[in-house]
Amino acid sequence: MILLVLALLSGTPSFASRDTFYPPLNHTTFITNTSLGTYGGIYSAPADHASPVGDVYNYCSMPHPNEDTYSLPPLVANHSVAARLIYLEYLQRHQRRTPYNILPGGENQDYNCDSIYPHLYAAPVAQGIPPAEVYGRAYSDPSNPFLATYVNGSCQYPQLTIGGLLDGYQHGRDLRAVYGDQLGLIPASPDKKVWFRSSSSALTQGSAGGVLRGIFPEHSGPIPLHQQASGIDTVDRGFPCSARDALLSSIQSTAEWNEHLSVTEQLRTRLSTMFNATDSWTSTFDHFADNFQARLCNGYELPCRVQDENDCVTTDQANEVFRAGDWEWNYWWRTNPNATQYIQLVEGLFIGEIVRKLEAVQQHRSDLVYSHNFVHDGDIGPILGALGIRSLRWPGMASNIAIEIWETSESRLYARVLYSGSTIETIHGTLDWVPLSALISILKPFIPDDIISMCN
């Protein structure tokens, strides 16, 4: 009943909950079929409190493992196999935020971030003078001449919102309930058996603060959040690679890509006229989708022209933008002929890091039981592509991949991969109970042999 109500509210037909994760994205008719609406997905969230935890595609706050929906592997649940969880590799996108992309013609609504303090300070490791707990307080100066074509308010762009922080706290509480209280894997406080990693972005670091507080509610003191140097980071496209951009240009020159531009030409022309957008905004749907999603996910309305408050983006137009965005992500990471090489160039080094941790578990030489990575949609997408996800929608806020490693009473190791709380459906089948060696074999082809040579 709840799913049906959500579908009706979004103007879409009713879909089984997991079907919202696997739409038919192999043809551009998915983009142009207005009757699909959001394909059962959700693109709205309350501004100042946590999003409801569900099991359908929710761009604002994707589902995650929680005690109400989590289930044991079927063979373990029905006692056909005696096994225990010994390792969890968890990856997630940051929580919801303000937009990266401000409309070229300016924004008709103010953005307010007064309810969240982005703290900015450093402290010595040893005892010393404690720092003042400084936080960034953004403001708009009316005398700034660039404000007329920007956005008024008290936010940085992008930045974590209060709703995103509260979502993160709930996300962490749910992980504690499943992997700590129920399965006994996550320790009561952070120790040498856990490892936390983020990109160099304030978005992933702020999200980690909320999630880790939910996981360790009684812990006091700092928690190390490992990061690589931003200039060579293996996540978030941190390292330089000219071949990466050249290959993307080739991918976005194919007949299939041009067909999707052709069927959306009317929409792209209309939006570019409304908001003075150039080709950099209309060559993909990344910019408009990001702007619309960030508004709807934080309690704002779809945008209107600054010069005409009656000339606004409609729900149908926004839904077509979102469907086109889904199509593009599926094409980039799953269906284009160069997808494997593109994943290698973008995410291959990080996939290699993950595989080495899995191999350490396989070889019984790992001291870790839980590794949590706070990254971006541009990291989650290619990893899902490498896993062979059957259909890839744009990975929403806090979208997550849980790689569970189970050991049987016969000391055999099996893997289960959950995507946003449920076992992932892939071209290799449902990854619900596969030998760990098989999962490693699926991922290994996406690890580059020589990334320096490939990039040059």
pLDDT digits (tens, 9 = 90+) for 7-55: 334 444 456 777 999 999 999 999 999 999 999 999 999 999 999 999 9
> Binning pLDDT at 50, 70 and 90, where does residue 1 land?
very low
Q: What is the CA radius of gyration of the chain?
A: 22
Name the amino acid, one letter, at 146: F
CB 103, CB 303: distance < 8 Å: yes
Which one-letter DSSP state was computed for residue 179? I
Mean pLDDT of 257-264: 98
Topology given in CATH for the domain delimited by 23-121+150-455: Rossmann fold (3.40.50)
> Binning pLDDT at 50, 70 and 90, where does residue 282 land?
very high
Mean pLDDT of 286-300: 97
Residue 374 has pLDDT above 80, yes or no: yes
Strand partners, 375: 93
Neighbours of 316 (CB within 10 A): 12
Model confidence pLDDT, tens digit, residues 337-352: 999 999 999 999 999 9
Closest CA relative to residue 386, chosen from 326, 420, 344, 349: 344
Q: Determine the pLDDT at residue 8.
A: 35
CB 437, CB 130: distance < 8 Å: no
Residue 102 has pLDDT above 60, yes or no: yes
Model confidence pLDDT, tens digit, residues 44-56: 999 999 999 999 9
Q: Look up tokens 């980039």; give the residue.
A: 332
Strand partners, 402: 90, 418
Average pLDDT for the chain? 95
Cα angle 270-271-272, degrees, rounded to a multiple of 5: 95
Q: Where are the domains of the chain?
A: 23-121+150-455
